[in-house]
Structure 1
Amino acid sequence: MADFRLHCFGESGNAYKAALMLELCRLPWEPVAVDFFKGETRGPEYRAQVNEMGEAPVLEHQGRKLTQSGVILDYLAEITRKFGAKSDDERREIWRWILFDNHKFTASLASLRFLIRFARSGETPVTDFLRGRAVSALKIADLHLAERPFIIGKRPTIADLSMAGYLFYGEELAVPLDPHVNVMKWLDRIQALPGWKHPYELMPRVWAG
């Protein structure tokens, strides 16, 4: 058994954040497929044995079970000393962007993708709202990245891995990325990191629709 086990599924950008970090750090890990679309995460067994919050990803390591992608990224950065902060100011800046990602960036992009692609809701006032919110967040990131190659400066950190989690799903996103030139260049820089892989190369797909 690998040292690290990640409960995940290929369609989850939040799980991809953790999977990509594991891969970039060349850690010995294995994916544990979670059938989210058939309700596995919401079942009593999963909540009792894996994650009481009923969510993925979950990282198992040395008897620990870590949940929430930002916490997992922070943990891996701490134990590997890679992609983490080098000062208190950097730590605060990293968490500033991870929180922005969780509340505005990923929150809007992931919810919109889920409704359009998986729930097949069609266009509704809710999707209109989420699309507007996602575009606004992309514009903020694009302006920020006009002045630096990565989120906090010259080197990639877990803030980049968090922010980019859903952006490598390409056409599955219900928001075009092409208008955001600096975001596209930033994604190219992340994709050029040694060990980078697409989410569907790292984790099992479970969607059968």
Structure 2
Amino acid sequence: MTTYRLHCFKESGNSYKVALALAIAGVTWEKVAVDYFDGQTRQPGWRSETNEMGEVPVLEIDGRRMTQSGVILLHIAEQFDGLHVEASERNEVLRWLLFDNHKFTANLASYRWLRTFAKPAPHEAVLAYMRQCTVAALDIVDRHLADSTFIVGNRLTVADLSMVGYVYYPADELGFDLRAEYPRVGAWMDRVAQTTGWRGPYELLA
């Protein structure tokens, strides 16, 4: 029987992406809590033994480690029928995974981190710039969802699971009330949340 161990912490939306994919796939997995706030991922021993990049998530599959959420999601999609990516849609899924990593999650997660967790707090101009970048990415997704039920076509794929990594965190953390400010994004969030196995980040990674 394959064993899965996920190195993660509950505030990490990138960890949540992988945990959610495993949950939807019906996989039993073990949580390995990472003390990010106390600097565990910066320790030389952790980097040499767990992930040289100093990041979570790290998914162990029978002791073999995988890193980078996009790579892990694609691997999970290859293993489980419910998340399988058809050849005809693979390029589109990859396109949105890359957009997510470079623009959507990159900006939303950075803005959330700076306004909620960073110490000392960043300069107001930095926050304003990051908010502007986040709004630009949200606008793209909101427009796209005007003509698409999910990110790629009419069924849930790992493109959705990548892009929902941070959207379910509380509005007072994000600095956005997504359902109120972006109704199409909100409706998409609700559709994803109706998927069997779905749980929010602070419940799933508790």
Q: Determine the C-alpha separation between the residues in 1 that align with 2:133 and 2:144.
A: 17
Q: Determine the C-alpha separation between the residues in 1 that align with 2:82 and 2:74.
A: 10
For residues 111-148 of structure 1, give each alpha carbon's deviation from its aligned partner in whole angstroms, at most 9, with x where no partner exists: 11111111151562111111011111111001101111
Match status 1:141 vs 2:141: yes
Q: Which residue of 2 aligns with 1:180?
A: 182
Q: Determine the C-alpha separation between the residues in 2 that align with 1:143 and 1:4.
A: 37
State how 1:50-199 maps to structure 2 within 5 Å: 50-87=50-87, 89-120=88-119, 121=121, 124-171=124-171, 172-177=173-178, 178-199=180-201
How far is 1:38 from its partner? 0.6
How far is 1:61 from its partner? 0.2
For residues 4-62 of structure 1, give each alpha carbon's deviation from its aligned partner in whole angstroms, at most 9, with x where no partner exists: 00000000000000000010111010111001011101111110110000000000002
Q: Determine the C-alpha separation between the residues in 1 that align with 2:122 and 2:40.
A: 25
Aligned partner letter, 1:62: D
1:139 aligns to what SS in structure 2?
helix
Aligned partner letter, 1:173: L
Q: Determine the C-alpha separation between the residues in 2 that align with 1:74 and 1:11.
A: 22
Q: Determine the C-alpha separation between the residues in 2 that align with 1:116 and 1:100.
A: 23
How far is 1:189 from its partner? 0.3
Percentage of pairs with the same residue? 51
Unaligned runs of 5+ residues in structure 1 are 205-209
Q: Which residue of 2 aligns with 1:207?
A: none
Q: Determine the C-alpha separation between the residues in 2 that align with 1:123 and 1:131.
A: 13
Misfit runs of 4+, over 6 Å: none
How far is 1:63 from its partner? 3.1
- Bigger mean CA offset, 166-175 vs 101-110: 166-175
For residues 147-184 of structure 1, give each alpha carbon's deviation from its aligned partner in whole angstroms, at most 9, with x where no partner exists: 11100111000000001110000221023312211100
Q: Determine the C-alpha separation between the residues in 2 that align with 1:72 and 1:26.
A: 16
Q: Determine the C-alpha separation between the residues in 1 that align with 2:134 and 2:197.
A: 28
Q: Which residue of 2 aligns with 1:202?
A: 204
Give the alignment's TM-score, normalised by structure 1.
Answer: 0.93
Aligned partner letter, 1:180: Y
Q: Determine the C-alpha separation between the residues in 1 that align with 2:156 and 2:202.
A: 22
User: How many residues are paired up?
Assistant: 203
Unaligned runs of 5+ residues in structure 2 are none
C-alpha contact (below 8 Å) 1:2/1:28 kept by paired residues:
no
Q: Determine the C-alpha separation between the residues in 1 that align with 2:159 and 2:189.
A: 13
